[in-house]
Amino acid sequence: MSPPDAPLLEQLSANSIPYRDPLAVLDWRALSLDHYWLPPEAVSLHGLAEFEALSESARMRLSQYEFLSFAQAGIALQRAFLESTARHLRRVEPDAEYAFLLHEMREEAGHSLMFLRLAAASGLDVPDWRKALPRLGRPLPRLLGADVVYWFMMVVAQDVPDKLHRFVRRQAGAEHSAFVRQMITLHMLDQSRHLAYARRSLELAMRGPGRAIARLFPLLFDVLFNRFVRAYFWPRQELYERAGLGDGRAWRRGALRNSVRREFVLKLVAPTMRLVSQHGIRVRLR
């Protein structure tokens, strides 16, 4: 697959030069458990009578755990990205692409450090982040002999969280954490460049064998998309228990059956589905 255009890579690198280390930029003394970290509308149980019956402190605590669940998914994704990018660097020839990938790795490492520190500084009892996401078929690009699966997942895994972050920023009010809002903003600024690179790479991958693979295995892309979305937006049962709600199995069943949650998720992922359809890949929320 040909690399993205040099002018695009040089512009993305130029925008990455004023690097903002989130560990240094964020005022960690401002982190507090006295605010919602997610708007109630973004919590998996929103819309259920059982959720409304909880005390405000319990709803607030669940919002904090669910934001940490999103952060842990980010750490898991960034680990996969760093591993694959390190391998990719061995065969990258244009200096423009090599330089941008170094910028991207620095920024993704900063995001992971930021999320790790958030979990530690919160004092909350969170599950192991290594189990936050399924493996999502990492060897598939090598087995199929094409990069299109990898770049498809890179677009999905960056665009879907971006849409969630934009929703949180739009809904933020006095009852929501200003610290979390600043953290989201830092993440979004870097991710906009990473997404631009991934989108262009997916477009180039679809010009080669990738288009044939997308036509031959449409179900593959649909399954990967839905596995990611389900793991990202519907927390593991363990999280409900650690948030102090009791039987996690019952709460997770309620979240999975929650039509309000499905409608919320569909609104967030619809732009991503339209985006990948522009590249010849059609998926839908199951």
- CB contact at 8 A, 232 and 133: yes
Q: Identify the CA nearest to 42 among candidates 76, 70, 73.
A: 70
Q: How many CA atoms lie within 13 A of 36 on its CB side?
A: 18
Q: What is the DSSP letter of 207?
A: T
Specify whether the CB–CB gap between 230 and 265 falls below 8 A.
no
Instruction: Quote the pLDDT of residue 215.
Output: 83
- The DSSP letter of residue 246 is S
Residue with tokens 């061995």: 90
Low-confidence residues in the chain, pLDDT < 70: 1-2, 135-146
Say which amino acid occupies 84: S
Helix residue ranges, H only, 92-177: 95-122, 140-144, 148-171
What is the pLDDT, as a whole number, of residue 2? Answer: 65
Residue 268 CA from chain centroid, whole number: 12
The residue among 235, 240, 24 whose CA lies nearest residue 117 is 24
pLDDT at site 248: 95
HSE-CB for 188 with a 13 A CA cutoff: 16
pLDDT tens digits for range 253-264: 999 999 999 999
- The structure tokens listed for 237 are 């049962």
Distance in angstroms (rounded) separating the CA atoms of residues 189 and 159:
13
Pick the CATH number of 6-27+35-276 from 3.40.50.150, 1.10.620.20, 3.40.50.880, 2.30.30.240: 1.10.620.20
- Written as six digits, the tokens of 134 are 């399924």
Question: What pLDDT sits at residue 282?
Answer: 94
Amino acid 147: pLDDT: 84
pLDDT of res. 144: 45
Among the listed residues 41, 20, 60, 15, the one whose alpha carbon sits nearest the alpha carbon of residue 182: 20
CA distance 7 to 211: 25
Give the per-residue pLDDT at 136: 56
pLDDT in tens, 51-89: 999 999 999 999 999 999 999 999 998 998 898 888 888
- Six-digit token string for 194: 């990473």
- Cα 32 to Cα 65, 180, 260: the distances in Å are 13, 9, 28
